[in-house]
């Protein structure tokens, strides 16, 4: 198996139980969906039975009575304890814990939760490195596009010819209809950023290297929080009036509706977070499960059908990658539009 799974049986027995093919596939899928401290491109078992890993280590940054920085290669893919300035750390379930000495173990409670001390972790993990990578890609694309407009008399060229229709689509079909021509411009930078960010990281998630950013609920939580904060701080008096003292309804109903409407402001970003996380995670699990079925079937018919189904689903996942970026952007624009919408109840009455 790939790195990150070796530490699971540290506190149980020295002999690893033999697992069947289905269990092995299930563990591999779980590992593929998780973040890690190494960038592992592939792993294989040599003729001598030794597990080989192809990739490179990343930077581990811990705060444990001071700043500790070291290479993740010290963990040897989760198989060994790392010694740093007299402190000892071990990876267990993709988290770093302190242990006692080089032979130290992870201590589990009755619920199989680690009781070891856990330092503050600011490491550059695989997912964090993808965020930096996508930032570099977005910066390169749009800076090159902006430079092309400047040097070509406002006409796109090169990469700008591909990006301009998408930017115009986000503006004309998402921002203006949901926010309005008066206010849409101040939200365009965020809408474009979140659309291309989610789209690109979803595409990376379909590659075999296992960089699955949007199936990490912490990432979708941060995106949803940013949408929530922009909506909250952009809300005008009419927006807050409709939440706390809805016009046009009897006073008793206003009192009842106020907490419901206030709760709705938190439910909206929560729905954003769960929708993106659940759809991307489910897609990866189903796709990898179908691929795994090829190794379960021992006949050409079952394996061929599994391969065909995986291929079709892989094409569908390309559509889902863009669709989820579109949905997140549309809903964000819709919330912004609700926050800045101007109502004229007195004139209507």
Asked if the model's pLDDT at residue 136 lies above 60, the reply is: yes
Q: What per-residue confidence (pLDDT) applies to 347?
A: 43
Give the percent of the chain with pLDDT over 70: 85
Lowest pLDDT segment from 3-17, 72-86, 241-255? 3-17
CB 37 within 8 A of CB 91: yes
Q: Where are the domains of the chain?
A: 6-124, 128-348
For CA atoms 209, 215, 219, 220, the dihedral sign is positive
pLDDT in tens, 166-220: 999 999 999 999 998 989 999 999 999 999 999 999 998 888 776 778 888 889 9
End-to-end CA distance of the chain: 69
Backbone angles phi, psi at 155, to 5 degrees: -105, 140
pLDDT in tens, 299-311: 666 678 877 888 8
CB 7 within 8 A of CB 106: yes
What b-and-e string marks burial along 139-152, b requiring 16 or more CB atoms within 10 Å of the CB?
A: eebbeebeebeeee
β-partners of residue 250 are none
Rounded to a whole number of angstroms, the CA Rg of the chain reads 25
Q: What per-residue confidence (pLDDT) applies to 210?
A: 67
pLDDT in tens, 97-113: 988 888 888 888 888 88
Q: What per-residue confidence (pLDDT) applies to 11?
A: 42
Give dist(CA 6, CA 146) in Å, integer. Answer: 48
Predicted confidence band of residue 43 (pLDDT cuts 50, 70, 90): low
Helix (H, G, I), strand (E, B), or coil: what is residue 121? Answer: strand
Structure tokens at 177: 């209809």
β-partners of residue 108 are 114
- Specify the DSSP class assigned to residue 18: P
Cα 3 off chain centre by = 20
β-partners of residue 262 are none
Asked if the model's pLDDT at residue 324 lies above 90, the reply is: yes
Range from 19-28, 64-73, 75-84, 188-197 that averages highest in pLDDT: 188-197
Cα 110 off chain centre by = 31
């Amino acid at each position: 198996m790939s790195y990150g799974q070796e530490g699971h049986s540290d506190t149980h027995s020295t002999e690893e139980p033999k697992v069947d093919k289905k269990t092995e596939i299930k563990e591999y899928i779980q590992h593929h969906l998780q973040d890690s401290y190494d960038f592992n491109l592939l792993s294989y078992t040599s003729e001598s039975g030794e597990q080989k890993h192809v990739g490179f280590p990343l930077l581990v940054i811990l705060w444990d009575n001071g700043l500790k920085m070291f290479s993740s290669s010290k963990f040897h893919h989760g198989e060994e304890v790392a010694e740093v300035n007299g402190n000892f750390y071990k990876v267990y379930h993709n988290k770093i814990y302190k242990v006692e000495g080089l032979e130290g173990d992870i201590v589990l409670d009755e619920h199989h939760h680690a009781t070891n001390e856990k330092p503050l972790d600011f490491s550059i993990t695989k997912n964090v490195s993808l965020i930096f990578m996508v930032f570099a890609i977005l910066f390169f694309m749009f800076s090159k596009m902006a430079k092309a407009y400047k040097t070509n008399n406002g006409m796109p060229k090169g990469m700008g010819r591909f990006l301009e229709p998408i930017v115009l689509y986000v503006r004309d079909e998402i921002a203006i209809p949901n926010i309005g021509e008066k206010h849409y411009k101040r939200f365009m930078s965020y809408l474009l950023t979140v659309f291309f960010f989610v789209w690109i990281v979803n595409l990376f998630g379909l590659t075999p290297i296992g960089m699955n950013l949007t199936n990490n609920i912490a990432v979708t939580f941060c995106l949803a929080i940013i949408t929530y904060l922009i909506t909250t701080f952009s809300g005008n008096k009419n927006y807050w009036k409709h939440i706390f003292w809805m016009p046009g309804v009897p006073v008793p109903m206003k009192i009842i509706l106020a907490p419901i409407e206030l709760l709705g402001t938190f439910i909206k970003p929560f729905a954003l977070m769960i929708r993106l996380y659940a759809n991307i995670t489910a897609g990866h699990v189903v796709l990898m499960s179908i691929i795994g079925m090829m190794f379960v079937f021992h006949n050409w018919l079952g394996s061929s059908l599994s391969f065909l189904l995986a291929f079709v689903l892989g094409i569908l996942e390309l559509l889902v990658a863009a669709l989820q970026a579109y949905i997140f952007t549309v809903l964000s624009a819709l919330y912004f539009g609700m926050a800045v919408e101007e109502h004229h109840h007195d004139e209507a009455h």
